[in-house]
Amino acid sequence: QLEDEALKFIGAHCPELVTLNLQTCLQITDDGLITICRGCHKLQSLCASGCSNITDAILNALGQNCPRLRILEVARCSQLTDVGFTTLARNCHELEKMDLEECVQITDSTLIQLSIHCPRLQVLSLSHCELITDDGIRHLGNGACAHDRLEVIELDNCPLITDASLEHLKSCHSLERIELYDCQQITRAGIKRLRTHLPNIRVHAYFAPVTPPPSVGGSRQRFCRCCIIL
């Protein structure tokens, strides 16, 4: 039942605030969170996942007021766009973890900005960001964080991602885990080539079951969905 009025009091009276979790506080809007950003300049971790009313105004306010931000979780905040993430990336250079799952409007432009301005990025979730392509992953793989920082990247349900993205990530020697569930253009061969360069990486992927052959002699073979963890 938390509303913007509570956030306005916190922003006005808690300047030392470092961590704030507002996950699924559905009544929160830009007004309340902007007050937090303006009053809590030491903020390092913000979770607003599921706060579906917030817009790019929040990202702008974070970029202008909270340069120490390290963790941002905004999963299912579908109104956020490349414009807001551009402002954020250009001002919050200490970002280490970002959960952007179901931020459905973002494109490769966001990844380009992160690759240029966020050298400390370690964990990035882009699940269900269906506009992301291989080109965005290419920039990320060539970015400042790629070689010795990036540890986890989640690309579940990104239909435009192909084996080319895996090629772009093979020089990310710090990469420990990659999520590829329901990336239908990813192949087993592509994963195998990635593991040639990163033998310790954990790859979570799903492949559709093989089409069963016609039943023979009245018996029926059963096939199940399969996922691989390498």
Q: Cβ neighbours of residue 206 under 8 Å, at least 6 residues apart?
A: 180, 181, 182, 225, 226, 227, 228
Q: Over the stretch 64-76, which tens digit does the pLDDT of each residue have?
A: 999 999 999 999 9
Q: In the prediction, which pLDDT does 146 show?
A: 81
Q: In the prediction, which pLDDT does 213 show?
A: 55
Hey, where are the domains in the chain? 4-204
- Matching CATH number, 4-204, of 3.40.50.300, 3.80.10.10, 3.30.950.10, 1.10.3470.10: 3.80.10.10
Q: In the prediction, which pLDDT does 227 show?
A: 53
Q: What is the DSSP letter of 79?
A: T
Q: In the prediction, which pLDDT does 117 show?
A: 96
Q: In the prediction, which pLDDT does 147 show?
A: 80
Place of tokens 């969905």: 225
DSSP H/E element including 98? strand 97-99
Whether residue 216 has pLDDT greater than 60: no
Average pLDDT over residues 86-92: 98
Q: In the prediction, which pLDDT does 222 show?
A: 40
Whether residue 85 has pLDDT greater than 70: yes
**Pairing between strand 152-154 and 123-125?**
parallel
d(CA 196, CA 191): 9
Which pLDDT band holds residue 226 (cuts at 50, 70, 90)?
very low
Calculate the dihedral angle through the C-alpha atoms of 208, 210, 215, 216, rounding to the nearest 10 degrees: -160
Q: In the prediction, which pLDDT does 206 show?
A: 79
Q: Over the stretch 160-210, which tens digit does the pLDDT of each residue have?
A: 999 999 999 999 999 999 999 999 999 999 999 999 999 999 999 977 666
Q: Over the stretch 101-154, which tens digit does the pLDDT of each residue have?
A: 999 999 999 999 999 999 999 999 999 999 999 999 999 999 988 888 999 999
**What angle do the packed helices 30-39 and 4-13 form, to 10 degrees?**
10
**What angle do the packed helices 108-117 and 82-91 form, to 10 degrees?**
0
Q: In the prediction, which pLDDT does 148 show?
A: 87
Question: 212 versus 183: which is more confidently predicted?
Answer: 183
